[in-house]
């Protein structure tokens, strides 16, 4: 027993020395996740991409069309940066990326409206950029409904209907949308709790794989194993424990700045999210160990880890729900630890439901750790006879 | 004349050797060929459904009237939502939401129909899960459509009533304004068609840089094993060696670029506007600037495999800096400037303008010029680094020679 403890102690000491041996590791473990987190949080500091550049094409030039124009200009979501004299001018501005959309008021709009001939206004939105496009669409739609409403209201009031009943006639059903957890519809709240841990998870997977297969590349894996009394488990524990610590601390710093400093929604105890972060780091390390066990070839193992972790940003359902992917694509998301961390975040921090509902996600993260023990025998075999294929 | 000729031959021999090295290297081929071929397809398959359809919604109906049932029926019929079930009260509905059986709750208050009958506005609370913006968007679309269509029906009924009461409009009809939304660029308004064109360009840049770094680090590993000199390297001046390598990478990337930029959008019917020739001309400075940037970045990569550690994560950051997700006009000066230093930012915006919005080359003049500028800057930096490295190697080499002489 004493011997085992001695071996573990030695192994961890070696692991610490290994992490400190090259600046590469500290850069990858601490600097890259923190810098990425800063970039993403600072980039979207405004919360909502307001003041989308738009244009107005007013071919009518009447009092009514000018009122509509000034209403658009007054909207919070849009910013009228230019007035175009023709459709093609506005289209050119869209193509050059100067504006995201424009509102077109046709010739004789005002006179046709008053004559009751149902004129048509149209609004164009460049959906190649989907976030500003939805904001422009929303703004323009509101304006067109309001323009119609004010016209109808004016007519009905002159016809003798009471003011109150006109409004309810225009809008008999008023839907009140309650956006749970993120009532500001803040984009950083939505993005940062999936993408920033995603980058951390990516680095965990790659650094873990690198530091294991590095021993095989340098043909030092046999000594490494011998130093740990021939136990793969102790060898891995020693090598990975210092990294677990550093990664988890980095993750906690990120969490504290997201939930504490920036005050993003946190409807559970911070300890729950911190525990989830620790489990995420462990599960990613376990996943990397599993991959190394399956293929101890350094390059292939690193390629698989990179492929999975980069695809994870799309396939874990951060932007597109997995129910809306093809089934055989969506199934991959079940083998990605970040997916479970993300689900825990949704349940606990964003929606604040009972911990009971997230039980399976915690268990799933633990399963990753258990599974990693299975291919250890293969890894051990390869460590005894290291082969490096460039 | 012979000098120029010698220079050109040295460029070509560097190029030939680089081809040889690249094709013999499985790791590099994986980056140069397998990645550009397979990755776009994987991405396209993930997003190919474009929309979030049939979001499950739970109804709490305290009114139990014909109007509320009709509303729920129309919501169920919408392509964006489906009614997952009725809940007796809000607690039950919340439980369903916590179990992820539904992502929105719609709650008809008791006086819903009565209010409408009295000619007042009836409020309808809807609670929507905000974990995914696309899902929220679908719920919002369905709700807006159904509310508008129900509203129009109710309006028509009321107008009939009003005209029966002797109220007549001029000509009998209320003047209305028709409004038509038109989607430009990505006419399907889906996610795949919006995100993928940018991701395609990014795949080209990332795979190219990864491959270049791996090749260069391989050369460095060989040099370390051979006393500071890579036995596979062709002796040539710094600029000739940069030009030769760049020529090699450029030639290798012609086919992947055409495949990615022209055929992948065709396979998955993403927007396909713009002239192919324009796009190809636009991509020349993009490939060049990326190649030279790779030659600068490789300076920091000492081992073949450390490129995974130091470069893979950057894809996500480049995607954000390009403004494809969070618009560039809403970033601070700091981030637009940093974003402007990378070819991907300009190439993505230019390519999207051409491919989605059908811009011609003169309309993307700014990104085009910026890409040439970046090519020039990165070339000069790569050349400078090469000169410094060469000086260090020469110094070490002569030192090694000197010590050998002494010992010998």
A75 and A18 inside one domain = no
User: A229 with A146, same domain?
Assistant: no
Residues of B in contact with A96 (CB under 8 A): 353, 359, 363-364
Residue A85 in contact with partner chain B when CB distance is under 8 A: no
CB-neighbour burial class of residue A148 (10 A; exposed 0-12, middle 13-18, buried 19+): buried
Portion 236-265 of A in contact with B at CB < 8 A: none
Pick from B49, B158, B329: CB nearest A324: B49
A30 touches chain B (CB under 8 A): no
Domain-terminating residue out of B137, B167, B197: B167
* Boundary of a domain, candidates A121, A137, A170: A170
Domain count, chain B: 2
**Pick from B290, B289, B297, B286: nearest CA to B376:** B289
Residues A142 and A226 in one domain: no
Residues A252 and A300 in one domain: yes
* B280 in Cβ contact with B239 (< 8 Å): no
The verdict on residue A324 lying in a domain is: yes
Residues of B in contact with A28 (CB under 8 A): 309-310
Tokens standing for residue A383: 């460590």
Q: State which residue of chain B sits closest to A121, comparing Cα positions.
A: B179
Chain B contacts in chain A segment 139-198 (CB below 8 A): 140-141, 144-145, 147-148, 151-152, 155-156, 159-161, 165, 167-182, 185, 187, 190-191, 195, 198
Same-domain status, B245 and B374? yes
Give the burial class of A98: count Cβ atoms within 10 A of its Cβ; 0-12 exposed, 13-18 middle, 19 or more buried: middle
pTM of the model: 0.91
Task: Select the more confidently predicted residue: B238 or B289.
Answer: B289
Asked if A135 and A278 sit in the same domain, the reply is no
**What is d(CA A251, CA A282) in angstroms, rounded to the nearest whole number?**
12
Please check whether residue B122 touches A, CB under 8 A.
Answer: yes
Answer yes or no: do B6 and B71 share one domain: no
Q: Are residues B160 and B281 in the same domain?
A: no
Q: Do residues B288 and B368 share a domain?
A: yes
Q: Cβ of A177 and B179 within 8 Å?
A: no
Mean predicted confidence (pLDDT) in A314-341: 88
- Report pLDDT for B401: 56
Q: Residue B175 falls within a domain, yes or no?
A: no
In a domain, B393, yes or no: yes
For B39-69, the pLDDT digits (tens) are 999 888 888 888 888 999 999 999 999 999 9
- In-domain check, residue A67: yes
Strand A101-105 to strand A120-126: parallel, antiparallel, or no bridges (unpaired)?
Answer: antiparallel
Q: Which residues of A touch B97 (CB under 8 A)?
A: 351
Q: Is A179 domain-assigned? A: no
Q: Give pLDDT tens digits for B119-166.
A: 888 999 999 999 888 899 899 989 988 998 898 888 878 777 766 565
Who among A113, A132, A134 is closest to B177 (CB)? A113
**φ, ψ for residue B56, nearest 5 deg:** -70, 130
* Continuous H helices in B48-132: 66-77, 90-98, 112-117
Q: Per the CB < 8 Å rule, is A39 touching B143?
A: no
Mutate to test the interface with A, among B56, B59, B130 (most CBs of A within 10 A): B130
Helix (H) or strand (E) holding A49: none
- Contact list in A for residue B217 (CB cut-off 8 A) is none
Nearest CB to B186; choose among A128, A190, A303 = A128
Whether B220 and B124 map to the same domain: the answer is no
Query: Do residues B31 and B60 both lie within one domain?
Result: no
A214, A318: one domain: yes
Q: Do A172 and B357 touch (CB under 8 A)?
A: no
Tokens 């000199």 belong to B229
Count how many Cα atoms sit within 13 Å of the Cα of residue B98 in the half-sphere of its side chain. Answer: 16
Average pLDDT for residues A176-180, to the nearest whole number? 90
Question: Which of the listed residues A120, A138, A170 is the one where a domain comes to its end?
Answer: A170
Helix ranges (H only) for B259-364 are 264-267, 276-297, 306-311, 314-321, 333-340, 343-355
Residues B151 and B250 in one domain: no
Q: Which residues of A214-229 are buried (b: 16+ CB within 10 A; e: fewer)?
A: bbbbeeebeebbebbe
Comparing C-alpha atoms, which of B121, B109, B116, B111 is closest to residue B161?
B116
* Alpha-carbon span A310 to A203, nearest angstrom: 10
Given a contact cutoff of 8 angstroms between Cβ atoms, the answer to whether A355 and A275 are in contact is no
- The better pLDDT of the pair B38, B48 is held by B38
What pLDDT does B170 receive? 47
Residue B136 contacts A, CB cutoff 8 Å: yes
**With an 8 Å Cβ cutoff, is B218 touching chain A?**
yes
**Per-residue pLDDT at B164:** 59
Whole-angstrom CA distances from B166 to A159, A308, B117, B154, B228 are 11, 70, 19, 19, 100
Given this model, what pLDDT does residue B391 score?
Answer: 85
What's the token pair of residue B5?
């000729």
Question: Which of A352-361, B205-214, B373-382, B396-405 has the lowest average pLDDT?
Answer: B396-405
Q: What range does the domain containing A142 cover?
A: 52-170
Q: Which residues contact B95 (CB under 8 A, 6 or more apart)?
A: none
Contact B119 A168 (CB under 8 A): yes
Within a domain: A369: yes
Same domain assignment for residues A258 and A241: yes
The C-alpha of B5 sits at a distance from chain A's nearest C-alpha, in angstroms, of 36
CA nearest B35 in A: which residue?
A307
Give residue B408's pLDDT.
39
Q: Is residue A375 part of a domain?
A: yes
- Tell me, yes or no, whether A231 and A344 share the same domain: yes
Contact B213, B300 (CB under 8 A): no
Q: Does A355 touch chain B (CB under 8 A)?
A: no
H-helix segments, B122-165: 133-164
Is A261 part of a structural domain of the chain? yes
B23 at A interface, C-beta within 8 A: no
List the single residue in B191, B271, B349 with the smallest CB-CB distance to A97: B349
* Residue at B383 is within a domain: yes
Q: Does A6 touch chain B (CB under 8 A)?
A: no
Residue A180 falls within a domain, yes or no? no
**Of B108, B136, B167, which residue constitutes the final position of a domain?**
B167
- Of the two residues A390 and A93, the one the predictor is more confident about is A93
Q: What is the mean pLDDT of residues B85-91?
A: 94
Tell whether B378 and B394 lie within a shared domain.
Answer: yes
- The secondary element (H helix, E strand) that includes residue B404 is helix B365-407
pLDDT reading at B400 higher than 60: no
Q: Phi/psi at A172 (nearest 5 deg)?
A: -65, -35
Task: Say how many residues make up chain B.
Answer: 408
**What average pLDDT score do residues B81-87 get?**
94
User: For residues B293 and B342, what is the distance between their CA atoms, to the nearest angstrom?
Assistant: 8
pLDDT of residue A79: 87
DSSP character at residue B235: P
Cβ-based contacts of B183 with chain A (< 8 Å): 124-125, 127
CA dihedral A33, A34, A39, A44 (to 10 degrees): 100
- Dump the DSSP string for A83-152: EESSHHHHHHHHHTTS-SEEEEE-TTHHHHHHTT---EEEEEEETTSHHHHHHHHHHHHHHHHHHHHHHH
Percent of chain A with pLDDT over 90: 48
Q: Is residue B119 within 8 angstroms of chain A, CB to CB?
A: yes
How high is the pLDDT of residue B171? 47
Instruction: Report, as an integer, the average pLDDT of A324-342.
Output: 90
Measure A57 CA to nearest chain B CA, in Å. 14
Domain stops at, among B116, B135, B167 = B167
CATH number of B63's domain? 3.40.1710.10
> Which residues of B are less than 8 Å from A49 in CB distance?
326-327, 330
The structure tokens listed for A304 are 């698989």
Residue A154: what pLDDT? Answer: 77
d(CA A223, CA B299): 32
Domain count across chain A: 2
Q: Residue B63: give the domain boundaries.
A: 55-167
Are B240 and B381 contained in the same domain?
yes
Cβ contact (<8 Å) for B46 and A120?
Answer: no
> Which of A26, A37, A81, A95 best tests the B interface by mutation, with the highest count of B CBs <10 A?
A95
Instruction: Determine whether B117 is exposed, middle or buried from the number of CB atoms within 10 Å of its CB (0-12, 13-18, 19+).
Output: middle
Which is nearest to B117 in space by CA: A223, A173, A131, A156?
A: A173
Residue B182 lies in a domain: no
Half-sphere exposure (CA, 13 Å, Cβ side) for B35? 29
Q: A188-231, pLDDT tens digit by residue?
A: 888 889 999 999 999 999 999 999 999 988 888 888 988 888 88
Is A181 a member of any domain?
A: no
CA-based nearest residue to B106, from B74, B149, B154: B74
The pLDDT tens digits for A147-171 are 888 777 777 777 777 666 777 777 8
B361 chain-A contacts, CB cut-off 8 A: none
Closest CA to A18 of A303, A221, A294: A221
CB contact under 8 A, B181 and A123: yes
Whether A14 contacts chain B with CB within 8 A:
no
Q: For A257-264, which contacts have Cβ atoms below 8 Å and span 24 or more sequence positions?
A: A257/A37, A257/A41, A258/A37, A258/A41, A258/A192, A258/A193, A258/A196, A259/A349, A262/A41, A262/A188, A264/A188, A264/A189, A264/A192, A264/A193, A264/A349
Q: How far is A166 from chain B (nearest CA, A)?
A: 9
Instruction: State whether A218 and A163 are in the same domain.
Output: no
| Burial classification of residue B130, based on how many CB atoms lie within 10 Å of its CB (0-12 exposed, 13-18 middle, 19 or more buried) | buried
- Residue B398 confidence class, pLDDT cut points 50, 70, 90: low
Span A99-137, pLDDT tens digits: 999 999 998 888 888 777 888 889 999 999 888 888 888
Residue B295 counted as domain residue:
yes
* Same domain for A326 and A237: yes
Q: What is the pLDDT of residue B167?
A: 55
* Residues B74 and B21 grouped into a single domain: no
CATH number, domain with residue A76: 3.40.1710.10
Output the average pLDDT for chain B: 88
Q: Which of A173-187, A228-242, B29-43, B175-189 has the lowest mean pLDDT?
A: B175-189
Interchain pair A171, B121: CB under 8 A: yes
Contacts of B279 in chain A (CB under 8 A): none
Strand ranges of the sheet holding A173-180, from the earlier edge strand across to the other edge: A173-180, B122-129, B104-108, B55-61, B81-87
Q: Does B98 touch chain A (CB under 8 A)?
A: yes
Q: Is any Cβ of chain B less than 8 angstroms from the Cβ of A101?
A: yes
Rounded CA-CA distance B211/B22 in Å is 9
- Rg (alpha carbons) of chain A, rounded to whole number: 29
For A357, the closest of B99, B189, B195 (CB atoms) is B99
Does residue B179 fall inside a structural domain? no
Interchain proximity B52–A202, CB inside 8 Å: no
- pLDDT of B402 reads 54
B122 and B91 inside one domain? yes
Q: What is the pLDDT of residues B230-257, one digit of tens each?
A: 888 888 888 999 999 999 999 999 999 9
Buried b / exposed e over B383-398, threshold 16 CB at 10 Å, is bebbeeeeeeeeeeee
Yes or no, beta carbons of B363 and A202 under 8 Å apart: no
Round to whole Å and give the CA distance between A306 and A203.
Answer: 9
Mean pLDDT over B168-174 rounds to: 53
Q: Which pLDDT score, from 0 to 100, does residue A324 have?
A: 84
Last residue of a domain, one of A140, A170, A200: A170
Pairing of β A101-105 and β B104-108: unpaired
What DSSP character marks residue B363?
A: G
State the smallest CA–CA distance between residue B406 and chain A in angstroms: 32
The chain A residue lying nearest B314, using CA atoms, is A36
**Same domain? A261 vs A375:** yes
Let me know if residue B173 belongs to a domain: no
Residues B335 and B265 placed together within one structural domain of the fold: yes
């Amino acid at each position: 027993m004493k011997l085992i403890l001695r071996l573990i102690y030695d192994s961890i000491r070696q692991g610490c020395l290994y992490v400190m041996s090259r600046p590469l590791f500290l850069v990858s473990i601490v600097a890259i996740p923190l810098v990425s987190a800063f970039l993403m949080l600072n980039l979207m500091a405004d919360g909502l991409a307001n003041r989308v550049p738009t244009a107005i094409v007013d071919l009518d030039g009447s009092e009514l069309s000018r009122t509509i124009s000034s209403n658009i200009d007054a909207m919070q979501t849009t910013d009228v940066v230019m007035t175009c004299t023709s459709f093609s001018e506005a289209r050119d501005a869209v193509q050059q990326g100067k504006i995201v959309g424009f509102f077109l008021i046709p010739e004789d709009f005002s006179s046709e409206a008053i004559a009751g001939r149902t004129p048509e206004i149209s609004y164009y939105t460049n959906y190649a950029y989907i976030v500003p496009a939805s904001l422009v669409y929303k703004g323009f739609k509101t304006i067109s409904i309001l323009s119609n409403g004010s016209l109808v209201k004016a007519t009905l009031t002159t016809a003798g209907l009471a003011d109150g009943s006109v409004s309810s006639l225009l809008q008999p059903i008023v839907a009140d949308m309650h956006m749970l957890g993120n009532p500001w519809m803040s984009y950083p709240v939505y993005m940062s709790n999936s993408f920033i841990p995603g980058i951390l998870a990516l680095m965990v997977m790659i650094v873990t794989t690198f530091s294991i297969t590095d021993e095989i590349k340098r043909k030092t894996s046999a000594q490494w194993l011998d130093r740990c009394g021939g136990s793969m488990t102790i060898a891995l524990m020693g090598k990975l424990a210092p990294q677990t610590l550093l990664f988890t601390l980095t993750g906690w710093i990120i969490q504290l700045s997201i939930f504490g400093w920036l005050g993003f929604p946190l409807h559970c105890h911070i300890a729950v999210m911190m525990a989830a972060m620790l489990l995420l780091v462990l599960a990613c390390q376990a996943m990397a160990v599993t991959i190394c066990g399956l293929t101890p070839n350094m390059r292939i193992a690193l390629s698989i880890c990179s492929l999975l972790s980069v695809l994870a940003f799309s396939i874990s359902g951060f932007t597109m729900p997995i129910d809306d992917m093809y089934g055989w694509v969506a199934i991959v998301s079940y083998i990605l630890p970040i997916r479970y961390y993300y689900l825990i975040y949704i349940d606990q921090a964003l929606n604040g439901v009972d911990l009971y509902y997230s039980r399976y996600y915690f268990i799933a993260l633990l399963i990753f750790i258990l599974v990693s023990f299975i291919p250890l025998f293969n890894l051990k075999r390869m460590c005894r006879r290291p082969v490096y294929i460039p | 004349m012979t000098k120029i000729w010698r220079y050109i031959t040295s460029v070509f021999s560097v190029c030939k050797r680089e081809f040889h090295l690249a094709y013999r290297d499985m790791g590099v081929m994986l980056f140069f060929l397998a990645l550009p071929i397979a990755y776009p397809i994987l991405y396209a398959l993930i997003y190919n459904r474009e929309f979030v359809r049939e979001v499950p919604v739970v109804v709490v109906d305290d009114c139990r009237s014909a109007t509320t049932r009709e509303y729920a029926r129309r919501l169920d019929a919408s392509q964006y939502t489906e009614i997952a079930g009725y809940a007796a009260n809000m607690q039950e509905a919340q439980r369903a939401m916590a179990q992820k059986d539904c992502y929105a709750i719609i709650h008809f208050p008791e006086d819903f129909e009565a209010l409408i009958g009295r000619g007042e506005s009836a409020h309808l609370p809807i609670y929507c899960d905000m974990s995914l913006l696309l899902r929220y968007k679908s719920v919002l679309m369905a709700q807006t459509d159904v509310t508008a269509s129900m509203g129009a029906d109710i309006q028509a009924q009321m107008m009939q009533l009003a005209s029966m009461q002797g109220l007549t409009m001029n000509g009998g009809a209320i003047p209305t304004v028709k409004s038509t939304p038109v989607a430009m660029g990505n006419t399907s308004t889906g996610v795949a068609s919006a995100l993928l064109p940018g991701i395609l360009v990014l795949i080209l840049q990332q795979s190219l840089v990864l491959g270049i770094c791996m090749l260069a680090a391989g050369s460095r590993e060989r040099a370390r094993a051979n006393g500071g000199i890579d036995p596979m390297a062709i002796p040539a001046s710094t600029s000739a060696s940069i030009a030769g390598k760049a020529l090699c990478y450029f030639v290798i990337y012609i086919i992947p670029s055409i495949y990615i930029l022209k055929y992948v959008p065709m396979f998955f019917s993403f927007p396909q506007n713009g002239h192919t020739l324009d796009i190809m001309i636009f991509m020349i400075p993009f490939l060049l600037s990326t190649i030279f940037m790779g030659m600068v970045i490789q300076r920091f990569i000492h081992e073949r495999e450390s490129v995974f550690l130091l470069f893979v994560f950057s894809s996500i950051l480049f995607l954000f800096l390009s403004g494809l997700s969070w618009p560039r006009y809403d970033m601070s000066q700091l981030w637009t400037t940093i974003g402007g230093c990378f070819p991907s930012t300009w190439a993505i915006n230019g390519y999207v303008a051409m491919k989605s919005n059908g811009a011609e080359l003169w309309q993307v003049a700014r990104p085009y010029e910026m890409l040439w500028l970046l090519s020039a800057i990165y070339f000069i930096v790569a050349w400078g680094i090469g000169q410094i490295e060469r000086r260090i190697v020469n110094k070490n080499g002569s030192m090694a020679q000197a010590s050998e002489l002494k010992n010998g």
